[in-house]
Structure 1
C-alpha cells in the first residue's frame, strides 16, 4: 500500500469538502408566493425573507405540480425530497421507496453530513434512512393541530417513532421549558394552546437548527433540511405579531369572493370547514390577519437561523434555499384551503436561493416546479444528481445560459381538476362524475367547467375569459395540447395507481357542459 498517497488523501479530502458549500433547505407550510412581501407586494412584514430575496436568486414562477391528496403537503414534500413529479411518486407520496434517492441521501453520498429538523410527512423508514442526524421532528403519527401543543419526537436512526415516545414541550410554573409525555390524557387537553402554554413550533425548530449550527464541528460540509410547520393552520402567533394586523384594516386581494362560483369537485373538506360560508369580508379579513401574523413570526425565526450562520462564520460558504410547499386561498375565490389549481390559492410557491455562497442577486421568470429544486441544489453544490431524479436543474437559468427550462406547466388536483399554462394564458378544466342516482334516491348531476385566464395581466385570476368568442380557438388549441401533455406526463396512469379517473369523466358524453 502506498501510505504516502493515503496520507495525502486524508489531508486533501477534508479541504475539498470544505470548499463545497453548506446547504440549508428551508421548507415552509401553506406559504403562498405573495406571503413574502418582497415577492407579492402584500401588506405582510417579512424583513428577513425580503433580505434573502434581495441578496439571492428569486424564481417568480415556481409552482407545485399538484396533488392526489387533500393534504397537498404530502406529495409536495415527496416531490421536493425525491426530485420526482407528481405522476412518478409512489402512490400519493406517503412513502418514499428506497429506489427513490432522497436529496439528503444524495448529499450524504457526496460526503456531506445530513441533518433534519421539523416536519416530516412521509414514512418513518425514509426519515431515518435519509439523514445522519436530526433534532426534533413532527408529523409521524400524532398530531394535535396546534402550534403550541405539538407532539414531537427526537430523530431516531432506527426509524422507531411510537406514540409512547412522543412528547410536548410546555412551560412549568417558573416558565422553564419541560418535556411532557404525549399520553391520551394530554391529547384531551389538546387544541388550542397559546403562548402561555409553551413555545411555538417555529421557535422550537429554529432553536433546534441554531443549536446544530453552533455546535457543528465536523470537517465536511452539512446539508440541513429545516421544515417549519408554519404558516399552516391553526394560524397562531404570539400576541405582539397579531397586533401588527388589525382585522378591520386588512386589505383583501383582488380575488376575494364570498363563495366560489361553482362546485370545483371538492368543496367540502377539512380546510374549507375552517371558516363559515359565505366568506364575508370580516371572515376573510380575520383569516388573512392571522395568516400574516404567523408568517411575520416565522420570518423572525428564519432571521435568527441566518444570524446564527453569520455568527458561526459559516454564512459565506452556505447556500440557503427557501421554498413553500403550496399556495393557500385564505378567502381568494371564496376558498380557504389549497385543494385547487389556482395560482395563489394552491400552486404558486416562493422559491429563493440565497445565502453567502450566492454572489449575484437575480430575479428570474423561468417556469419551474417543486421537484426542480433538488437537481438545482445538487448542481450548485457540485453533487451528483441520482438517476431516480426527474426534475430539471435551474442552473442554466442562474448562469444566464437559458431563460427557460420548461415551455409549459401542467397541474392536477385529484380526479376533479387539471390546469395547463403556456405563454401568458392558463386553462383550467373541472369535472364532476357523470349523472348518477345514489341508493337513497338522491340524484347527483355531473358537470364540466372550463376557465381561461390571462395570467400575465391577471395574476390573481379574477377575469374568466372562457366565454368570450375571441378566445374560443385558443381554448380548443390549449385543450388539445393539454391532452397531449397529460399523456407525456403519464397522467393516464392515475386510474391504475390511484383509482381516480379525471379523463374518463372529461371525455364522457354524459357530462353536461
Structure 2
C-alpha cells in the first residue's frame, strides 16, 4: 500500500487510457463468468424442485472477497476498502425470514455457525461465528441496522506469515494498521462513503480512534467464545469542528 498525506489514500499513479480499456474488458469477462454461475444455480434449483427438496433446503450465496478493478487506483481483492470487504450475502429457505434486507455485517465464520444451527447440529468445536438467521430476526424486531465489530486482516496471496494489515470494521468505521509501516487508516463511511480520506490523524476523530484501537486489540486473536457475538454497544462519534 502507498499512502500520500494524512487525508488521502492512493495506490499509485492514475491508469492510462490503454490500462482502462483492459480493465473494462476484463470486467466484462467477469460479468459473463458470473452469468454462467447464474445458469448453474438455476439448474440446481430446478433439480431441487423436481426432486421435492427445494422447500427443505437452505441456499446461501456469498463470497470470500470482492475484487477491486481500478477503484482507488488499485487492483486485487485484499484491500481495506468496501470493494474488497463488503460482499452481499443472500439466504433463502426454511427458517430464514422472507423478503427482508438488513445492513448488519457478518463474516465467513458466521456461515458455518448458521448452517449448524439450521441443521440442528452440535458443532464439535467452539464457534467463532453467530447464527445469521438470529441477526436477521433481531434487526427486524429492532427496526434498525444492528452492528457488531468484525475483525479484518489481509495476508499475502503467495504465502508468508506477515499480514498486510489488521484491523476492524465496525458500523460506519473501518480502522486498520498497515503492518509494514505502522500507518493507521480510518474511514468514516457516514461522511465519506467512497473511502477516499484517511481520518486517523484528524483530531476530531481522536475518541473514535481510541475506541476502535481498544476493540481491535480485544478481538485481534479471538477464537470461540472470545470472538464478538453481540450486536450492541455505542460507537464514538467525531467531535464537532
- TM-score in terms of structure 2 length: 0.70
User: Could you say which residue in structure 1 is the equivalent of 2:52?
Assistant: 313
Distance 2:215 2:97 in 1: 39
Q: Note if contact 1:323-1:351 (Cα within 8 Å) is conserved in structure 2.
A: yes
C-alpha contact (below 8 Å) 2:104/2:146 kept by paired residues: yes
1:453 Cα deviation from its structure 2 partner: 0.9
Equivalent positions of 1:2-81 (< 5 A) are none
Choose between structure 1 and 2 for higher RCO, CA contacts under 8 A separated by at least 6 residues.
1
Give CA deviations for 1:6-46 in whole Å, capped at 9, x if unaligned: xxxxxxxxxxxxxxxxxxxxxxxxxxxxxxxxxxxxxxxxx
The SS at the match of 1:298 is helix
CA distance 1:431–1:286, change in 2 (3 Å): same
The whole-number CA distance in structure 1 between the counterparts of 2:152 and 2:43 is 35
**Residue 420 of structure 1, aligned match among 151, 163, 168:** 168
Contact 1:425-1:455 at 8 Å conserved across structures:
yes
Structure 1 spans left out of the alignment, 5+ residues = 1-258, 263-275, 433-446, 491-513
Q: Provide the alpha-carbon RMSD of the alignment.
A: 3.1
Any idea what SS the aligned residue of 2:213 has?
Answer: helix
Matched, 1:431 2:182: no
1:410 lines up with 2:151 in the alignment: yes
Q: Which of the two has greater strand per residue?
A: 1
Q: Secondary structure at the match of 2:36?
A: helix
Q: Does 1:471 align with 2:205?
A: yes
Contact 1:421–1:427 (8 Å) recurs in 2: yes
1:60-459 matched pairs, under 5 angstroms: 260-261=11-12, 280-345=19-84, 347-355=85-93, 358=96, 360-400=98-138, 407-414=148-155, 415-432=163-180, 447-459=181-193
Cα deviation for residue 411 of structure 1 reads 0.9
Kindly indicate whether the alpha-carbon contact (under 8 Å) linking 2:127 and 2:223 is maintained by their aligned counterparts in 1: no
Q: CA deviation at 1:413?
A: 1.7
Contact 1:429/1:451, CA 8 A, preserved across alignment: yes
CA contact (8 A) 2:95 2:118 kept: no
Q: Is residue 371–residue 391 contact of structure 1 (8 Å, CA) maintained in 2?
A: yes
| Alpha-carbon shift at residue 281 of structure 1 (Å) | 2.7
TM-score, structure 1 as length reference: 0.35
Q: How far off is 1:428 after superposition?
A: 1.9
- How big is the shift at 1:261? 4.8
* Structure 2 residues not aligned, in runs of 5+: 1-9, 156-162, 225-241
Secondary structure at the counterpart of residue 175 of structure 2? strand
* Count of aligned pairs between the two proteins: 204
